[in-house]
A and B are shown apart, each in its own frame.
Chain A
């Protein structure tokens, strides 16, 4: 079964790599659908826990997939997921950047960028819904989420500090 999981995580990463418009976070709804709903590698709670862990680590947020790979297929899944989510992207970006002279000025690439942007925003908001559903189980959790939303929207405080405060709120049993 582990080999099967490894193959599946590989296929998921390869197929999603070139669809992550607007960065890795736009993949969260699809990753949740695959890992929790369809393949049942983990429950909602484990999914948001892993997401929270990936958010506290530095580096590209797309590396969240390696935590899903780990849950599905151990360390082989961890490495395969990171490598395969980056490989197609690497090739595409490498090839385009060799021939890109002024590509962003071209109307076609501009139309694609402008056209995809609202859909990407919808995906990011959907990701927030997925994470909220998995994490908020009562008034306390909702208050922490809304407080975090307001702090991130209105101030430039380092997110790690806010997550630290949220951890304390959790420890105190408010969530």
Chain B
């Protein structure tokens, strides 16, 4: 995945609490520089290295919670960091900053798509892109799963989920509510709960 160069945390003194506009603009900038991915890496770069709003440890703690809770990891991170900076209004500013620019871009792209989708050249180009997206989706899953694929028990649940959801097309809710707890119980019985969770780069 693409991302910014890792740089050092500024050694300067902690800055004053940022205003709501500053929080909004910061998260908007984060979204806009993440064209092509690497949003999480950019979050660290901007929040820790550039703004100094969080220490590296605080960032990792917030990121770890974002990954544990359900939902978009970056949206979760925005809520946690926004709340930490300025309570409820900070959390709202952060999530709006993260999502509004992205939604405007999506709205423009989907309008273009709808008005041009009968254009054969665009259709051909998009066919190529969709195939690349299939490869990208598989690569993301394999990258996140490289640790789990080596453990027989984890691999069993990966395969079970692929068969149930990807092949036999069962609904997500029953699969998640049945396989999830069984898998968690197995983890508990295996006493492996001391291993650290998977971290995305």
* Interface of A toward B, CB cutoff 8 Å: 15-25, 27-30, 33, 37, 48-63, 66-67, 70, 75, 78, 82, 86, 89-90, 92-94, 96-98, 100, 103-104, 107, 109-119, 121-132, 134-136, 141-142, 144-153, 156-163, 165-171, 173-175
Contact = CB atoms under 8 A, between A and B. Distances in A.
B123 to A, nearest CB: 8
B94 to A, nearest CB: 10
Given A18-B70, A117-B197, A141 B131 contact: yes
A29 B175 CA distance: 12
A97 to B, nearest CB: 5
Contacts of A151: 135
8 contacts: A21-B176, A33-B171, A58-B31, A118-B161, A122-B158, A125-B141, A145-B135, A175-B131
Given A15-B173, A66-B103, A98 B132 contact: no
Contact of B165 (A54, A122, A147): A122
Contacts of A28: 137
Dominant secondary structure of chain A at its interface with chain B: helix
Interface string B20-60: 00000000000111111101000000000000000000000
A90 to B, nearest CB: 6
B35 A146 contact: no
Given A53-B113, A126-B166, 5 more contacts: A23-B71, A28-B137, A56-B129, A127-B166, A166-B131
Contacts of A17: 70-71
B185 interface: yes
B178 to A, nearest CB: 9
Interface in B117-135: 117, 121, 124-135
3 tightest A-B CB contacts, nearest first: A122-B161, A170-B128, A59-B102
Contacts of A18: 70-71
Contacts of B144: 22, 121, 124
Interface in B131-165: 131-145, 148, 154-162, 164-165
A147 to B, nearest CB: 7
A128 B138 contact: yes
A62 B183 CA distance: 25
A129 B167 contact: yes
A21 B70 contact: yes
A109 B70 CA distance: 12
Most chain A C-beta atoms within 10 Å of own C-beta, residue among B107, B126, B135, B136: B135
B165 A148 contact: no
A23 B72 contact: yes
Given A29-B165, A92-B69, A49 B117 contact: yes
A2 B113 CA distance: 21
B14 interface: no
Contact of B31 (A24, A37, A59): A59
Contact of B72 (A49, A62, A92): A62
B70 A168 contact: no
